[in-house]
């Protein structure tokens, strides 16, 4: 039985809330994956037009140094205007729930116990501070007690965009549906497309419950992107503290991000609870300086992290690529740097982008097997024919990427009711595996892809995803193969 490949490749494909919390640096390949999307660059043009409009309204007494801040504001305004942020109950309605027992099997019981306890502790603190009601607290914790949690998944720009019709009617559909981590990763990617020499650094300040972006320009402006509807300058923050919190900056920060415990930069993550850091100490000093300057105090969460003994970890392999691409001005430049099949860090980005032009297709199959909706459906099938009928009933034939060389995950194909022959083959493959596991029946399954069709096969026959009929094994022209024994 072939073992799973390195988790860094698997997790880059479609990380969920627990993947991202346990390994915050998964944010980085998502950011670079956005840069491979033509649609991201189209959206960057919207931002540039917004900035041009803002330029025309610039006050007479403004200085050239404010350009970078105006560009960042343009990003926030366009994100807020065109994307819909989903709340927890909407996630359950659209994406369903994660089974915590399945996640514990996949990620390890101790890791999941830690993550769940973090969630519970965060909710308790919100209750104790009066930020949420007892009724809200009960609603937020009931699912955890029942072993369920909303299926927060994070993905590349094109998946976010494809989901746009799930939350509203076609006439009013936004450009995409987002969570806070989606917004931070898109914001960071768009910041990288700004002209070189504007942005000096963008980092993430995060916790198990929320992700934000914090950064500064080369000319000194500091800003905090709290979410798509809120970007604060240092002046904004001071006014907010004075007006709403009687000058208590720590109380204000606690209202916004009380459980802050992670700083993520291109180098990796500084975990404030353990002292483990992939961020070099001199870079931490610079970050601390900027945080102190912006928030006008030494945040208690930061002070506690700095007091921890430091364990220095290697910086991420993706760090040099992120540095190289800050200020990149075209998708051609991004692709020239990222489409390197021999570089492991670039491979992470290609999996995030869902490219089939990777060295190993196994991570896609591994992740597909854990998609919760497909798993639930496959395990509940009464006959194998039901799997074929379900896939045949999906009306759409187009890839959500408009590109047959990119692949959707089974739950995405089910939700969006469309997919290429390869997308539908992957869905059928895992449905059959889950059916076989539940019934202790059947034989090994493989998926074969040719230039114009995909086939899900057992040792005796194949099912064509184009004709939706049983046929013989293709003898020639197989380009790709998904063929690992069941490993759940």
For the chain, what percent of residues have pLDDT higher than 70?
A: 94
Q: Taking 90 as the threshold, does the pLDDT of residue 444 lie above it? A: no
Whole-number pLDDT of residue 88 = 82
Whole-number pLDDT of residue 272 = 98
Q: Taking 90 as the threshold, does the pLDDT of residue 442 lie above it? A: no
| Mean pLDDT of the region 307-334 | 95
Q: Taking 90 as the threshold, does the pLDDT of residue 435 lie above it? A: yes
pLDDT tens digits for range 186-216: 999 999 999 888 899 999 999 999 999 999 9
Q: Taking 80 as the threshold, does the pLDDT of residue 2 lie above it? A: no
Q: Taking 50 as the threshold, does the pLDDT of residue 260 lie above it? A: yes
pLDDT tens digits for range 144-167: 999 999 999 999 999 999 999 897
Q: Taking 70 as the threshold, does the pLDDT of residue 6 lie above it? A: no
Whole-number pLDDT of residue 168 = 64
Q: Over the chain, what HEC string results?
A: CCCCCCHHHHHHHCCEHHHHHHCHHHHHHHHHHHHCCHHHHHHHHHHHHHHHHHHHCCCCCCCHHHHHHHHHHHHHHHHHHHEEECCHHHHHHHHCEEEHHHHHHHHCHHHHHHHHHHHHHHHHHHHHHCCCCHHHHHHHHHHHHCCEEECCECCCHHHHHHHHHHCCCHHHCCCEEECHHHHHHHHHHHHHCCCCCCEEEEEEEECCCCEEEEEEECCCCEEEEEECCEEEEHHHHHHHHHHHCCCCHHHHHHHHHCCCCEEEECCEEEECCCCEECCCHHHHHHHHHHHHHHHCCCCHHHHHHHHCCCEECCCCCCHHHHHHHCCCCCHHHHHHHHCCCCCHHHHHHHHHHCECCCCCCHHHHHHHHCCHHHHHHHHHCCCHHHHHHHHHCCCECCCCCCCCCECCCHHHHHHHCECCHHHHHHHHHHHHHHHHHHHCCCCCCEEEECCCCEEEECCCCEEECCCCEEECCCCCCCCEEECCCCCC
pLDDT tens digits for range 12-50: 999 999 999 999 999 999 999 999 999 999 999 999 888
Q: Taking 50 as the threshold, does the pLDDT of residue 395 lie above it? A: yes
Whole-number pLDDT of residue 170 = 61
Token pair 């500091």 in the structure block, residue = 222
**pLDDT grade, residue 347 (50/70/90)?**
very high
Q: Taking 80 as the threshold, does the pLDDT of residue 123 lie above it? A: yes
| Mean pLDDT of the region 331-342 | 90
**What is the gyration radius of the CA atoms in the chain, in angstroms?**
23
Do 79 and 227 meet the contact criterion of CB atoms below 8 Å apart? no
Whole-number pLDDT of residue 64 = 47
CA dist 456 and 427 (Å) reads: 10
Whole-number pLDDT of residue 485 = 53
* Top-confidence residue, 25 or 172: 25
| Mean pLDDT of the region 232-242 | 97
CA dist 45 and 37 (Å) reads: 13
Give the domain ranges of the chain.
7-91+155-320, 97-150, 361-482
Whole-number pLDDT of residue 169 = 59
Whole-number pLDDT of residue 61 = 45
pLDDT tens digits for range 455-484: 999 988 899 999 999 999 998 899 999 986
| Mean pLDDT of the region 130-142 | 88
Whole-number pLDDT of residue 440 = 87
If one counts every other C-beta atom within 10 angstroms of the C-beta of residue 408, the result is 29
Beta-sheet pairing, 211-217 with 222-227: antiparallel
| Mean pLDDT of the region 354-367 | 94
Whole-number pLDDT of residue 172 = 72
CB under 8 Å to 77, separation ≥6 — which residues?
50
| Mean pLDDT of the region 393-420 | 97
For the chain, what percent of residues have pLDDT higher than 90?
A: 81
């Amino acid at each position: 039985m072939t073992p799973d490949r390195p988790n860094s490749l698997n997790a880059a494909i479609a990380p969920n809330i627990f993947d991202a919390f346990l390994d915050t640096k998964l944010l980085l390949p998502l950011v670079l994956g956005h840069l491979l999307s033509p649609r991201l660059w189209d959206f960057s043009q919207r931002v540039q037009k917004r900035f041009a409009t803002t330029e025309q309204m610039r006050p007479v007494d403004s200085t050239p140094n404010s350009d970078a801040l105006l560009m960042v504001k343009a990003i926030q305004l366009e994100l807020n205007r065109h994307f819909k942020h989903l709340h927890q109950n909407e996630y359950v309605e659209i994406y369903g729930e994660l089974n915590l027992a399945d996640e514990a099997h996949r990620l390890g019981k101790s890791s999941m116990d830690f993550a769940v306890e973090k969630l519970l502790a965060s909710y308790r603190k919100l209750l104790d501070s009066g930020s949420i009601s007892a009724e809200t607290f009960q609603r937020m914790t009931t699912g955890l007690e029942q072993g369920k949690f909303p299926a927060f998944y994070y993905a590349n720009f094109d998946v976010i965009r494809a989901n746009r019709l799930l939350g509203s009617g076609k006439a009013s559909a936004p450009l995409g549906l987002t969570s806070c981590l989606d917004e931070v990763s898109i914001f960071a990617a768009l910041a990288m497309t700004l002209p070189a020499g504007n942005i000096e650094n963008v980092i993430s300040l995060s916790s198990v419950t929320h992700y934000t972006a914090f950064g500064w320009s080369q000319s000194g402006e500091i800003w905090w992107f709290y979410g798509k509807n809120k970007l604060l300058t240092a002046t904004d923050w001071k006014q907010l503290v004075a007006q709403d919190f009687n000058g208590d900056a720590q109380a204000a920060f606690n209202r916004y991000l009380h459980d802050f415990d992670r700083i993520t930069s291109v180098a990796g993550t500084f975990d404030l609870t353990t002292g483990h850091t992939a961020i070099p100490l001199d870079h931490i000093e610079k970050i601390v300086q900027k945080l102190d300057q912006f928030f006008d105090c030494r945040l208690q969460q930061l002070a506690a992290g700095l007091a921890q003994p430091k364990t220095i970890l290697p910086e991420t392999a993706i760090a040099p690529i992120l540095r190289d691409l800050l200020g990149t001005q075209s998708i051609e430049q991004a692709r020239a740097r990222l489409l390197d099949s021999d570089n492991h860090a670039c491979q992470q980005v290609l999996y995030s982008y869902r490219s089939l032009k990777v060295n190993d297709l196994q991570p896609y199959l591994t992740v597909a097997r854990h998609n919760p909706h497909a798993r639930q459906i496959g395990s509940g099938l009464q006959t194998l024919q039901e799997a074929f009928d379900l896939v045949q009933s999906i009306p759409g034939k187009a890839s959500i990427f408009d590109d047959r060389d990119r692949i959707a995950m089974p739950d995405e194909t089910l939700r969006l009711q469309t997919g290429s022959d390869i997308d539908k083959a992957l869905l059928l493959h895992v449905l059959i595996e889950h059916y076989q596991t539940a019934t202790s029946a059947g034989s090994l399954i493989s998926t074969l892809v040719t230039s114009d069709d995909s086939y899900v096969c057992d040792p005796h026959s194949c099912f064509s995803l184009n004709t939706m009929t049983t046929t013989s094994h293709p003898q020639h022209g197989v380009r790709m193969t998904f063929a690992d024994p069941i490993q759940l």
